[in-house]
Chains A and B, each alone.
Chain A
Amino acid sequence: MIPFTLQKVLTEAEAIAAAGQGGRYIAGGTTLIDLMREEVERPEKLVDINALPIKHIRAEGGDLVIGALARMSEVAAHPETQRLQPLIAETLVEGASPQLRNVASIGGNLLQRCRCPFFRMLDAGCNKRAPGTGCSAIEGLNGGHAILGTSDQCAATHPSDLAVALIALDATMRVTGPGYERSFPVDELFRLPGTTPHLEHTLRPGELIAEIRVPGGPHARRARYLKVRDRSSYEFAVVSAAAALHVEGGIVRDARIACGGVGTRPWRMRAVERALIGKAPDRAAFEAAARQATEGVKPLSGNHYKVELLPRTIVRALEMAGEVA
Protein backbone atom coordinates (compact mmCIF):
# COMPACT_ATOMS: atom_id res chain seq x y z
CA MET A 1 0.00 0.00 0.00
CA ILE A 2 1.31 3.42 -0.97
CA PRO A 3 1.76 5.65 2.12
CA PHE A 4 -0.99 8.17 2.73
CA THR A 5 -2.09 10.61 5.40
CA LEU A 6 -5.37 10.25 7.24
CA GLN A 7 -7.42 13.23 8.39
CA LYS A 8 -10.54 12.87 10.49
CA VAL A 9 -13.15 15.61 9.91
CA LEU A 10 -16.13 16.57 12.05
CA THR A 11 -18.21 18.80 9.75
CA GLU A 12 -19.23 18.75 6.09
CA ALA A 13 -17.45 22.08 5.57
CA GLU A 14 -14.24 20.65 6.98
CA ALA A 15 -14.62 17.56 4.78
CA ILE A 16 -15.14 19.58 1.62
CA ALA A 17 -12.17 21.83 2.43
CA ALA A 18 -9.97 18.76 2.92
CA ALA A 19 -11.21 17.26 -0.35
CA GLY A 20 -10.38 20.54 -2.06
CA GLN A 21 -6.78 20.00 -1.01
CA GLY A 22 -6.61 16.66 -2.78
CA GLY A 23 -8.24 14.49 -0.11
CA ARG A 24 -10.21 11.39 -0.93
CA TYR A 25 -13.26 10.60 1.19
CA ILE A 26 -13.34 7.32 3.08
CA ALA A 27 -16.41 5.96 4.86
CA GLY A 28 -16.64 2.16 5.28
CA GLY A 29 -13.65 1.72 3.01
CA THR A 30 -14.52 -1.83 2.01
CA THR A 31 -13.78 -1.14 -1.67
CA LEU A 32 -11.18 1.55 -1.27
CA ILE A 33 -8.89 -0.21 1.23
CA ASP A 34 -8.90 -3.35 -0.89
CA LEU A 35 -8.01 -1.42 -4.05
CA MET A 36 -5.35 0.60 -2.22
CA ARG A 37 -3.72 -2.63 -1.07
CA GLU A 38 -3.65 -3.74 -4.72
CA GLU A 39 -2.29 -0.27 -5.62
CA VAL A 40 -5.11 0.19 -8.13
CA GLU A 41 -6.14 3.18 -6.03
CA ARG A 42 -3.33 5.42 -4.82
CA PRO A 43 -4.73 8.31 -2.80
CA GLU A 44 -2.13 10.38 -0.97
CA LYS A 45 -4.61 11.70 1.54
CA LEU A 46 -7.70 10.09 3.01
CA VAL A 47 -10.45 12.14 4.64
CA ASP A 48 -12.30 10.07 7.25
CA ILE A 49 -15.90 11.32 7.11
CA ASN A 50 -17.42 8.82 9.53
CA ALA A 51 -18.02 11.42 12.24
CA LEU A 52 -20.30 13.53 9.99
CA PRO A 53 -23.95 13.64 11.12
CA ILE A 54 -25.40 12.07 7.97
CA LYS A 55 -26.33 8.63 9.28
CA HIS A 56 -30.09 9.17 9.56
CA ILE A 57 -32.81 6.85 8.27
CA ARG A 58 -36.36 8.23 8.45
CA ALA A 59 -39.71 8.70 6.78
CA GLU A 60 -40.59 12.18 5.50
CA GLY A 61 -44.13 12.14 4.19
CA GLY A 62 -44.13 9.00 2.12
CA ASP A 63 -40.45 9.32 1.24
CA LEU A 64 -37.69 7.20 2.70
CA VAL A 65 -34.70 9.44 3.50
CA ILE A 66 -31.29 7.86 4.04
CA GLY A 67 -28.12 9.64 5.19
CA ALA A 68 -25.12 8.75 3.02
CA LEU A 69 -23.18 7.38 5.99
CA ALA A 70 -25.91 5.00 7.15
CA ARG A 71 -24.59 1.45 6.95
CA MET A 72 -26.08 -1.09 4.54
CA SER A 73 -27.10 -3.36 7.45
CA GLU A 74 -28.77 -0.51 9.35
CA VAL A 75 -30.78 0.62 6.35
CA ALA A 76 -31.85 -2.92 5.47
CA ALA A 77 -33.03 -3.67 9.02
CA HIS A 78 -34.71 -0.31 9.65
CA PRO A 79 -38.50 -0.52 10.16
CA GLU A 80 -39.13 2.49 7.90
CA THR A 81 -37.17 0.88 5.06
CA GLN A 82 -39.12 -2.33 5.44
CA ARG A 83 -42.41 -0.46 5.67
CA LEU A 84 -41.89 2.05 2.85
CA GLN A 85 -39.36 0.47 0.50
CA PRO A 86 -38.87 -3.27 0.99
CA LEU A 87 -37.09 -3.38 -2.38
CA ILE A 88 -34.27 -1.27 -0.92
CA ALA A 89 -33.91 -3.70 2.00
CA GLU A 90 -33.87 -6.67 -0.34
CA THR A 91 -31.13 -5.28 -2.60
CA LEU A 92 -29.01 -4.35 0.42
CA VAL A 93 -29.25 -7.82 1.97
CA GLU A 94 -28.38 -9.39 -1.39
CA GLY A 95 -25.59 -6.88 -1.98
CA ALA A 96 -22.72 -8.08 0.23
CA SER A 97 -21.79 -10.38 3.11
CA PRO A 98 -23.12 -9.51 6.59
CA GLN A 99 -19.63 -8.41 7.65
CA LEU A 100 -19.34 -6.00 4.73
CA ARG A 101 -22.90 -4.73 5.20
CA ASN A 102 -22.06 -3.77 8.79
CA VAL A 103 -19.32 -1.47 7.51
CA ALA A 104 -20.17 -0.29 3.99
CA SER A 105 -22.02 3.03 3.67
CA ILE A 106 -24.84 3.91 1.31
CA GLY A 107 -22.82 6.66 -0.38
CA GLY A 108 -19.84 4.37 -0.79
CA ASN A 109 -22.04 1.63 -2.20
CA LEU A 110 -23.06 3.94 -5.06
CA LEU A 111 -19.45 4.95 -5.78
CA GLN A 112 -17.90 1.47 -5.52
CA ARG A 113 -15.56 0.58 -8.36
CA CYS A 114 -16.15 -2.15 -10.92
CA ARG A 115 -15.32 -5.83 -10.40
CA CYS A 116 -13.80 -6.44 -13.83
CA PRO A 117 -10.80 -8.67 -13.08
CA PHE A 118 -8.56 -6.67 -15.42
CA PHE A 119 -9.24 -3.48 -13.45
CA ARG A 120 -7.37 -5.08 -10.55
CA MET A 121 -4.60 -6.61 -12.66
CA LEU A 122 -1.84 -4.03 -12.85
CA ASP A 123 -0.04 -5.77 -15.72
CA ALA A 124 -3.17 -5.94 -17.95
CA GLY A 125 -4.48 -3.11 -20.10
CA CYS A 126 -7.47 -1.33 -18.59
CA ASN A 127 -8.77 2.00 -19.82
CA LYS A 128 -10.68 2.50 -16.60
CA ARG A 129 -7.62 2.10 -14.37
CA ALA A 130 -5.06 3.56 -16.76
CA PRO A 131 -6.61 5.51 -19.66
CA GLY A 132 -5.19 4.63 -23.06
CA THR A 133 -3.86 1.18 -22.10
CA GLY A 134 -6.67 -0.68 -23.89
CA CYS A 135 -9.40 -3.02 -22.68
CA SER A 136 -8.32 -6.56 -21.89
CA ALA A 137 -11.92 -7.76 -21.53
CA ILE A 138 -13.30 -6.89 -24.95
CA GLU A 139 -11.01 -9.42 -26.69
CA GLY A 140 -10.43 -11.52 -23.59
CA LEU A 141 -12.38 -13.12 -20.76
CA ASN A 142 -15.70 -11.29 -20.81
CA GLY A 143 -18.35 -13.73 -19.65
CA GLY A 144 -19.34 -11.45 -16.80
CA HIS A 145 -19.31 -8.22 -18.75
CA ALA A 146 -21.98 -5.85 -20.01
CA ILE A 147 -24.15 -6.13 -23.10
CA LEU A 148 -25.66 -2.65 -22.80
CA GLY A 149 -23.92 0.72 -22.73
CA THR A 150 -20.52 -0.63 -23.68
CA SER A 151 -17.96 1.15 -25.83
CA ASP A 152 -14.89 -0.18 -27.61
CA GLN A 153 -12.93 0.99 -24.58
CA CYS A 154 -14.78 -0.62 -21.66
CA ALA A 155 -17.48 -3.20 -20.95
CA ALA A 156 -17.33 -3.44 -17.15
CA THR A 157 -20.66 -3.72 -15.35
CA HIS A 158 -21.61 -1.53 -12.43
CA PRO A 159 -21.63 -3.78 -9.36
CA SER A 160 -24.16 -2.09 -7.03
CA ASP A 161 -27.48 -3.83 -6.37
CA LEU A 162 -28.75 -0.88 -4.36
CA ALA A 163 -28.23 1.45 -7.33
CA VAL A 164 -30.48 -0.77 -9.47
CA ALA A 165 -33.29 -0.38 -6.94
CA LEU A 166 -32.74 3.37 -6.50
CA ILE A 167 -32.93 3.93 -10.24
CA ALA A 168 -36.06 1.80 -10.58
CA LEU A 169 -37.68 3.81 -7.77
CA ASP A 170 -36.76 7.28 -9.14
CA ALA A 171 -34.66 8.12 -6.08
CA THR A 172 -32.89 11.45 -5.85
CA MET A 173 -29.69 12.41 -4.08
CA ARG A 174 -28.48 15.55 -2.35
CA VAL A 175 -24.79 16.40 -2.54
CA THR A 176 -22.85 19.13 -0.78
CA GLY A 177 -20.13 21.09 -2.54
CA PRO A 178 -17.97 24.04 -1.53
CA GLY A 179 -20.63 26.61 -0.52
CA TYR A 180 -23.63 24.96 -2.14
CA GLU A 181 -25.96 21.99 -2.20
CA ARG A 182 -27.65 20.38 -5.18
CA SER A 183 -30.11 17.55 -5.71
CA PHE A 184 -30.59 15.38 -8.76
CA PRO A 185 -31.92 11.95 -9.75
CA VAL A 186 -29.63 9.05 -8.81
CA ASP A 187 -30.05 8.08 -12.46
CA GLU A 188 -27.88 11.07 -13.39
CA LEU A 189 -25.01 9.96 -11.14
CA PHE A 190 -23.73 7.28 -13.49
CA ARG A 191 -21.88 7.89 -16.77
CA LEU A 192 -21.51 5.59 -19.75
CA PRO A 193 -17.88 4.65 -20.48
CA GLY A 194 -17.70 6.08 -24.03
CA THR A 195 -14.14 7.26 -24.60
CA THR A 196 -13.63 8.13 -20.92
CA PRO A 197 -14.26 4.94 -18.93
CA HIS A 198 -12.13 6.24 -16.06
CA LEU A 199 -14.87 8.82 -15.37
CA GLU A 200 -17.65 6.84 -13.72
CA HIS A 201 -19.88 9.42 -12.08
CA THR A 202 -21.00 13.01 -12.45
CA LEU A 203 -19.97 14.35 -9.04
CA ARG A 204 -17.79 17.43 -9.23
CA PRO A 205 -14.43 17.41 -7.46
CA GLY A 206 -14.92 17.61 -3.70
CA GLU A 207 -18.67 17.03 -3.72
CA LEU A 208 -19.94 14.87 -0.89
CA ILE A 209 -23.04 12.68 -1.08
CA ALA A 210 -25.19 13.73 1.87
CA GLU A 211 -28.55 12.02 1.44
CA ILE A 212 -30.67 9.72 -0.69
CA ARG A 213 -34.43 10.23 -0.98
CA VAL A 214 -36.72 7.48 -2.26
CA PRO A 215 -40.22 8.65 -3.13
CA GLY A 216 -43.10 6.42 -2.13
CA GLY A 217 -46.06 5.41 -4.22
CA PRO A 218 -48.51 2.62 -4.89
CA HIS A 219 -45.77 0.61 -6.64
CA ALA A 220 -43.44 0.54 -3.63
CA ARG A 221 -44.91 -2.39 -1.69
CA ARG A 222 -45.23 -4.76 -4.64
CA ALA A 223 -41.54 -4.69 -5.46
CA ARG A 224 -38.94 -7.46 -5.60
CA TYR A 225 -35.32 -8.01 -6.60
CA LEU A 226 -34.04 -11.11 -8.34
CA LYS A 227 -30.29 -11.57 -8.43
CA VAL A 228 -29.03 -14.37 -10.64
CA ARG A 229 -25.45 -15.32 -9.79
CA ASP A 230 -22.91 -18.11 -9.94
CA ARG A 231 -23.61 -19.16 -6.35
CA SER A 232 -26.69 -18.53 -4.29
CA SER A 233 -25.34 -15.89 -1.93
CA TYR A 234 -22.54 -13.34 -1.50
CA GLU A 235 -21.69 -12.96 -5.16
CA PHE A 236 -22.05 -10.23 -7.73
CA ALA A 237 -24.92 -10.42 -10.18
CA VAL A 238 -24.67 -12.20 -13.49
CA VAL A 239 -28.01 -10.58 -14.28
CA SER A 240 -30.37 -8.95 -11.79
CA ALA A 241 -33.72 -7.25 -12.02
CA ALA A 242 -35.65 -4.95 -9.71
CA ALA A 243 -39.35 -4.88 -10.49
CA ALA A 244 -42.10 -2.80 -8.90
CA LEU A 245 -45.73 -3.01 -9.97
CA HIS A 246 -48.83 -0.98 -9.27
CA VAL A 247 -51.80 -3.16 -10.18
CA GLU A 248 -55.36 -1.91 -9.84
CA GLY A 249 -58.51 -3.55 -11.13
CA GLY A 250 -56.45 -6.38 -12.60
CA ILE A 251 -54.48 -3.97 -14.81
CA VAL A 252 -50.86 -2.75 -14.54
CA ARG A 253 -51.09 1.01 -13.85
CA ASP A 254 -47.40 1.60 -13.22
CA ALA A 255 -44.27 -0.51 -13.60
CA ARG A 256 -40.67 0.20 -12.59
CA ILE A 257 -37.92 -2.07 -13.83
CA ALA A 258 -34.15 -1.72 -13.68
CA CYS A 259 -31.42 -4.29 -14.19
CA GLY A 260 -27.91 -5.00 -12.99
CA GLY A 261 -25.15 -7.19 -14.40
CA VAL A 262 -25.99 -6.28 -17.97
CA GLY A 263 -25.09 -2.60 -18.29
CA THR A 264 -22.02 -0.46 -17.83
CA ARG A 265 -24.24 1.40 -15.40
CA PRO A 266 -27.46 0.41 -13.61
CA TRP A 267 -29.99 0.11 -16.42
CA ARG A 268 -33.60 1.31 -16.34
CA MET A 269 -35.83 -0.68 -18.68
CA ARG A 270 -38.30 1.97 -19.78
CA ALA A 271 -39.43 0.17 -22.95
CA VAL A 272 -40.35 -2.88 -20.87
CA GLU A 273 -42.25 -0.66 -18.44
CA ARG A 274 -44.23 1.03 -21.24
CA ALA A 275 -45.14 -2.35 -22.71
CA LEU A 276 -46.68 -3.44 -19.40
CA ILE A 277 -48.94 -0.46 -18.77
CA GLY A 278 -52.60 -1.33 -19.30
CA LYS A 279 -51.97 -5.08 -19.47
CA ALA A 280 -53.11 -7.81 -17.12
CA PRO A 281 -50.14 -8.83 -14.93
CA ASP A 282 -49.71 -12.34 -16.27
CA ARG A 283 -46.85 -14.36 -17.66
CA ALA A 284 -47.76 -13.72 -21.29
CA ALA A 285 -47.70 -9.96 -20.76
CA PHE A 286 -44.44 -10.17 -18.81
CA GLU A 287 -42.78 -12.23 -21.53
CA ALA A 288 -43.94 -9.94 -24.31
CA ALA A 289 -42.76 -6.85 -22.45
CA ALA A 290 -39.41 -8.36 -21.40
CA ARG A 291 -38.46 -8.86 -25.03
CA GLN A 292 -38.03 -5.08 -25.20
CA ALA A 293 -35.11 -5.33 -22.77
CA THR A 294 -32.64 -6.60 -25.32
CA GLU A 295 -33.13 -3.81 -27.85
CA GLY A 296 -29.66 -2.53 -28.77
CA VAL A 297 -27.61 -5.15 -26.90
CA LYS A 298 -24.02 -5.74 -28.02
CA PRO A 299 -22.87 -9.06 -26.64
CA LEU A 300 -19.15 -9.87 -26.50
CA SER A 301 -17.54 -13.23 -27.31
CA GLY A 302 -18.29 -14.73 -23.90
CA ASN A 303 -21.57 -13.22 -22.75
CA HIS A 304 -24.18 -14.02 -25.43
CA TYR A 305 -26.01 -16.02 -22.76
CA LYS A 306 -27.00 -12.76 -21.06
CA VAL A 307 -29.15 -11.81 -24.05
CA GLU A 308 -31.44 -14.73 -23.17
CA LEU A 309 -30.97 -14.56 -19.41
CA LEU A 310 -31.90 -10.86 -19.20
CA PRO A 311 -35.55 -11.13 -20.32
CA ARG A 312 -36.01 -14.36 -18.33
CA THR A 313 -34.74 -12.63 -15.19
CA ILE A 314 -37.13 -9.72 -15.76
CA VAL A 315 -40.09 -12.08 -16.24
CA ARG A 316 -39.31 -13.93 -13.01
CA ALA A 317 -38.77 -10.68 -11.08
CA LEU A 318 -42.14 -9.40 -12.35
CA GLU A 319 -43.78 -12.65 -11.27
CA MET A 320 -42.18 -12.30 -7.83
CA ALA A 321 -43.45 -8.72 -7.57
CA GLY A 322 -46.91 -9.84 -8.70
CA GLU A 323 -46.98 -12.48 -5.96
CA VAL A 324 -46.52 -9.90 -3.20
CA ALA A 325 -49.83 -9.60 -1.39
Chain B
Amino acid sequence: MPEETSHIPPAAAAFPPVSRREVLQATAGAVALAALPGGAADSAAAAEAGAAAGHSLRITVNGHAHELAIDPRQSILDVLRERLNLTGTKKGCNQGACGACTILLNGQRVNACLTLAAMHDGAEITTIEGVAQGEALHPLQAAFIEHDGFQCGYCTGGQIMSGLGCIAEGHAGSPAEIKAWMSGNICRCGAYPGIVAAIAQANKAVRS
Protein backbone atom coordinates (compact mmCIF):
# COMPACT_ATOMS: atom_id res chain seq x y z
CA MET B 1 0.00 0.00 0.00
CA PRO B 2 2.33 2.73 -1.23
CA GLU B 3 -0.04 5.55 -0.29
CA GLU B 4 -0.30 4.34 3.29
CA THR B 5 3.32 3.63 4.20
CA SER B 6 6.32 5.74 3.31
CA HIS B 7 9.33 4.21 1.60
CA ILE B 8 12.06 3.58 4.09
CA PRO B 9 15.47 4.63 2.80
CA PRO B 10 18.24 2.13 3.60
CA ALA B 11 19.91 4.45 6.08
CA ALA B 12 16.72 4.72 8.07
CA ALA B 13 15.89 1.04 7.95
CA ALA B 14 16.44 0.75 11.67
CA PHE B 15 13.49 3.04 12.34
CA PRO B 16 9.95 1.64 12.30
CA PRO B 17 7.82 2.45 9.24
CA VAL B 18 5.90 5.70 9.42
CA SER B 19 2.46 5.95 7.89
CA ARG B 20 1.51 8.82 5.61
CA ARG B 21 -1.09 9.81 8.13
CA GLU B 22 1.40 10.08 10.98
CA VAL B 23 3.67 12.26 8.85
CA LEU B 24 0.80 14.54 7.84
CA GLN B 25 -0.47 14.73 11.39
CA ALA B 26 2.92 15.63 12.82
CA THR B 27 3.64 18.23 10.12
CA ALA B 28 0.19 19.83 10.14
CA GLY B 29 0.13 19.86 13.90
CA ALA B 30 3.48 21.59 14.16
CA VAL B 31 2.66 24.20 11.52
CA ALA B 32 -0.81 24.90 12.86
CA LEU B 33 0.34 25.18 16.45
CA ALA B 34 3.05 27.60 15.43
CA ALA B 35 0.74 29.75 13.33
CA LEU B 36 -2.60 29.88 15.08
CA PRO B 37 -3.96 30.26 18.59
CA GLY B 38 -7.03 28.13 17.82
CA GLY B 39 -8.87 26.98 14.74
CA ALA B 40 -6.81 24.43 12.87
CA ALA B 41 -4.73 23.72 15.95
CA ASP B 42 -7.76 22.78 18.00
CA SER B 43 -7.83 19.07 17.61
CA ALA B 44 -4.09 18.67 17.94
CA ALA B 45 -3.93 20.96 20.96
CA ALA B 46 -6.92 19.28 22.49
CA ALA B 47 -5.34 15.88 21.96
CA GLU B 48 -2.18 17.08 23.69
CA ALA B 49 -4.13 18.58 26.57
CA GLY B 50 -6.32 15.51 26.93
CA ALA B 51 -4.63 13.91 29.88
CA ALA B 52 -4.27 17.23 31.69
CA ALA B 53 -7.94 18.16 31.35
CA GLY B 54 -8.85 14.83 32.84
CA HIS B 55 -12.35 14.18 31.46
CA SER B 56 -12.68 10.45 31.57
CA LEU B 57 -14.50 8.89 28.63
CA ARG B 58 -15.63 5.30 28.36
CA ILE B 59 -16.98 4.41 24.95
CA THR B 60 -17.59 1.24 23.00
CA VAL B 61 -16.59 1.53 19.36
CA ASN B 62 -17.46 -1.30 16.97
CA GLY B 63 -17.77 -3.62 19.96
CA HIS B 64 -14.46 -2.67 21.57
CA ALA B 65 -14.47 -0.85 24.91
CA HIS B 66 -12.13 2.12 25.37
CA GLU B 67 -11.32 4.32 28.32
CA LEU B 68 -9.63 7.60 27.50
CA ALA B 69 -8.71 10.87 29.16
CA ILE B 70 -9.93 13.66 26.90
CA ASP B 71 -10.19 17.43 26.64
CA PRO B 72 -13.80 18.72 26.63
CA ARG B 73 -13.14 20.41 23.28
CA GLN B 74 -12.63 17.10 21.50
CA SER B 75 -15.42 15.94 19.21
CA ILE B 76 -16.21 12.27 18.82
CA LEU B 77 -14.79 12.69 15.32
CA ASP B 78 -11.43 13.80 16.71
CA VAL B 79 -11.41 11.01 19.28
CA LEU B 80 -12.12 8.40 16.59
CA ARG B 81 -9.52 9.70 14.17
CA GLU B 82 -6.75 10.91 16.43
CA ARG B 83 -6.99 8.77 19.53
CA LEU B 84 -8.36 5.50 18.16
CA ASN B 85 -6.86 5.74 14.64
CA LEU B 86 -10.24 5.00 13.06
CA THR B 87 -9.82 7.27 10.05
CA GLY B 88 -12.68 5.91 7.96
CA THR B 89 -14.88 8.58 9.54
CA LYS B 90 -13.88 11.66 7.52
CA LYS B 91 -13.50 15.28 8.53
CA GLY B 92 -15.10 17.11 5.60
CA CYS B 93 -16.58 20.46 6.59
CA ASN B 94 -16.28 20.02 10.37
CA GLN B 95 -19.50 22.04 10.75
CA GLY B 96 -22.31 19.54 10.29
CA ALA B 97 -23.05 20.35 6.66
CA CYS B 98 -21.46 17.56 4.61
CA GLY B 99 -22.17 14.30 6.45
CA ALA B 100 -18.75 12.72 5.79
CA CYS B 101 -18.36 12.16 9.54
CA THR B 102 -21.66 10.30 9.99
CA ILE B 103 -21.55 7.54 12.62
CA LEU B 104 -24.17 5.61 14.55
CA LEU B 105 -24.24 6.94 18.11
CA ASN B 106 -26.31 4.65 20.32
CA GLY B 107 -27.88 3.37 17.11
CA GLN B 108 -28.75 6.75 15.60
CA ARG B 109 -26.96 8.49 12.76
CA VAL B 110 -25.30 11.74 13.83
CA ASN B 111 -22.57 14.10 12.66
CA ALA B 112 -19.54 13.13 14.76
CA CYS B 113 -18.00 16.58 14.21
CA LEU B 114 -20.79 18.34 16.14
CA THR B 115 -20.67 16.15 19.22
CA LEU B 116 -18.48 16.83 22.22
CA ALA B 117 -17.08 13.46 23.20
CA ALA B 118 -17.15 14.38 26.89
CA MET B 119 -20.96 14.61 26.71
CA HIS B 120 -21.23 10.97 25.56
CA ASP B 121 -19.67 8.91 28.31
CA GLY B 122 -20.90 5.32 28.03
CA ALA B 123 -21.90 5.66 24.37
CA GLU B 124 -22.02 2.80 21.88
CA ILE B 125 -20.61 3.88 18.54
CA THR B 126 -20.52 2.16 15.17
CA THR B 127 -18.17 3.54 12.50
CA ILE B 128 -17.65 2.45 8.91
CA GLU B 129 -14.87 0.15 10.15
CA GLY B 130 -17.45 -1.81 12.12
CA VAL B 131 -19.98 -2.44 9.35
CA ALA B 132 -18.48 -5.49 7.58
CA GLN B 133 -18.39 -8.85 9.34
CA GLY B 134 -14.74 -9.71 8.94
CA GLU B 135 -14.15 -9.97 5.20
CA ALA B 136 -17.88 -10.21 4.44
CA LEU B 137 -19.27 -6.87 3.30
CA HIS B 138 -22.58 -5.60 4.61
CA PRO B 139 -25.27 -5.74 1.88
CA LEU B 140 -25.20 -1.93 1.71
CA GLN B 141 -21.43 -1.88 1.18
CA ALA B 142 -21.76 -4.51 -1.56
CA ALA B 143 -24.57 -2.49 -3.15
CA PHE B 144 -22.42 0.65 -3.22
CA ILE B 145 -19.79 -1.29 -5.20
CA GLU B 146 -22.38 -2.87 -7.49
CA HIS B 147 -24.04 0.48 -8.30
CA ASP B 148 -20.90 2.66 -8.44
CA GLY B 149 -22.11 4.67 -5.48
CA PHE B 150 -18.88 6.65 -5.32
CA GLN B 151 -16.07 8.11 -7.35
CA CYS B 152 -13.35 9.58 -5.13
CA GLY B 153 -14.67 7.75 -2.08
CA TYR B 154 -14.21 10.53 0.47
CA CYS B 155 -17.89 10.82 1.37
CA THR B 156 -18.58 7.09 1.05
CA GLY B 157 -18.08 6.05 4.65
CA GLY B 158 -20.50 8.76 5.78
CA GLN B 159 -22.95 7.88 2.99
CA ILE B 160 -22.99 4.24 4.07
CA MET B 161 -23.42 5.06 7.76
CA SER B 162 -26.22 7.49 6.92
CA GLY B 163 -27.74 4.92 4.55
CA LEU B 164 -27.81 2.38 7.37
CA GLY B 165 -29.67 4.93 9.48
CA CYS B 166 -32.03 5.77 6.62
CA ILE B 167 -32.91 2.08 6.14
CA ALA B 168 -33.28 1.42 9.89
CA GLU B 169 -35.57 4.45 10.26
CA GLY B 170 -37.81 3.10 7.50
CA HIS B 171 -37.23 6.00 5.11
CA ALA B 172 -35.79 4.12 2.14
CA GLY B 173 -39.10 3.19 0.53
CA SER B 174 -38.70 5.08 -2.76
CA PRO B 175 -35.98 6.99 -4.61
CA ALA B 176 -37.68 10.29 -3.68
CA GLU B 177 -37.80 9.32 -0.01
CA ILE B 178 -34.17 8.17 -0.04
CA LYS B 179 -33.08 11.47 -1.61
CA ALA B 180 -34.90 13.52 1.03
CA TRP B 181 -33.67 11.40 3.95
CA MET B 182 -30.08 11.29 2.66
CA SER B 183 -29.95 15.07 2.20
CA GLY B 184 -27.43 15.43 5.01
CA ASN B 185 -24.74 13.70 2.95
CA ILE B 186 -23.07 15.63 0.17
CA CYS B 187 -21.19 13.93 -2.70
CA ARG B 188 -19.22 16.42 -4.77
CA CYS B 189 -18.39 13.77 -7.39
CA GLY B 190 -22.12 13.55 -8.00
CA ALA B 191 -22.53 9.80 -7.46
CA TYR B 192 -26.06 10.35 -6.20
CA PRO B 193 -27.88 8.04 -8.68
CA GLY B 194 -25.63 5.15 -7.64
CA ILE B 195 -26.01 5.99 -3.95
CA VAL B 196 -29.80 6.05 -4.19
CA ALA B 197 -29.84 2.77 -6.16
CA ALA B 198 -27.53 1.11 -3.64
CA ILE B 199 -29.67 2.13 -0.67
CA ALA B 200 -32.86 1.04 -2.43
CA GLN B 201 -31.34 -2.38 -3.17
CA ALA B 202 -29.97 -2.85 0.36
CA ASN B 203 -33.29 -1.80 1.82
CA LYS B 204 -35.01 -4.59 -0.10
CA ALA B 205 -32.32 -7.08 0.95
CA VAL B 206 -32.56 -6.09 4.62
CA ARG B 207 -36.38 -6.24 4.63
CA SER B 208 -36.77 -9.51 2.71
Residues of A within 8 A of B185 (CB): 97
A26 in the interface (beta carbon within 8 A): yes
Tell me if A6 and B96 are in contact (CB < 8 A): no
B153 in the interface (beta carbon within 8 A): no
Residues of A within 8 A of B116 (CB): 6, 26, 29, 33, 46
Residues of B within 8 A of A234 (CB): 183-184
Size band of the B side of the interface? 35 or more
Which of A17-25, A98-106, A187-195, A255-263 forms contacts with chain B? A98-106
B59 in the interface (beta carbon within 8 A): no
Give the residues from 83 to 113 in chain B that come closer than 8 angstroms, CB to CB, to chain A.
94-96, 99, 102, 108-111
Most buried by A among B38, B102, B162, B171: B38
A78 in the interface (beta carbon within 8 A): no
B179 in the interface (beta carbon within 8 A): yes
A interface residues (Cβ-Cβ under 8 A, vs B): 1-6, 8, 26, 29-30, 33-34, 37, 39, 46, 48, 50, 73, 96-100, 102-103, 233-234
B interface residues (Cβ-Cβ under 8 A, vs A): 38-39, 42, 46, 49, 55, 71-73, 75, 94-96, 99, 102, 108-111, 114-116, 118-119, 162, 165-166, 169, 171, 179-185
Query: Which one, A5, A100, A233, contacts B96 given CB within 8 A?
Result: A100
Number of A-B contacts (CB under 8 A): 88
Residues of A within 8 A of B180 (CB): 233
Q: How far is the CA of A77 from the CA of B75 in the complex (A)?
A: 28
Tell me if A98 and B184 are in contact (CB < 8 A): yes
Tell me if A1 and B38 are in contact (CB < 8 A): yes
Tell me if A29 and B119 are in contact (CB < 8 A): yes
Residues of A within 8 A of B42 (CB): 1, 37
Q: How far is the CA of A30 from the CA of B113 in the complex (A)?
A: 9
Residues of B within 8 A of A6 (CB): 55, 72, 116, 118-119
Residues of A within 8 A of B169 (CB): 98
Tell me if B183 and A37 are in contact (CB < 8 A): no
Main secondary structure of the interface of B (DSSP, over half): mixed
A51 to chain B, nearest CB (A): 10
Q: How far is the CA of A26 from the CA of B109 in the complex (A)?
A: 20
Tell me if B108 and A102 are in contact (CB < 8 A): yes
Residues of A within 8 A of B111 (CB): 30, 97, 99-100, 103
Closest to B111 in A: A99
Query: Which one, B110, B119, B165, B166, contacts A50 given CB within 8 A?
Result: B119
Residues of A within 8 A of B184 (CB): 96-100, 234
Q: How far is the CA of A33 from the CA of B74 in the complex (A)?
A: 10
Tell me if A37 and B94 are in contact (CB < 8 A): yes
- Some 21 contacts from A to B, beta carbons below 8 A apart, are A3-B49, A3-B71, A3-B73, A6-B72, A26-B116, A29-B116, A30-B114, A34-B96, A46-B116, A97-B99, A98-B162, A98-B184, A99-B96, A99-B102, A99-B110, A99-B111, A99-B162, A103-B114, A103-B115, A233-B183, A234-B183
Q: How far is the CA of A8 from the CA of B57 in the complex (A)?
A: 13
Tell me if A98 and B114 are in contact (CB < 8 A): no
Q: How far is the CA of A103 from the CA of B170 in the complex (A)?
A: 18
Tell me if A37 and B162 are in contact (CB < 8 A): no
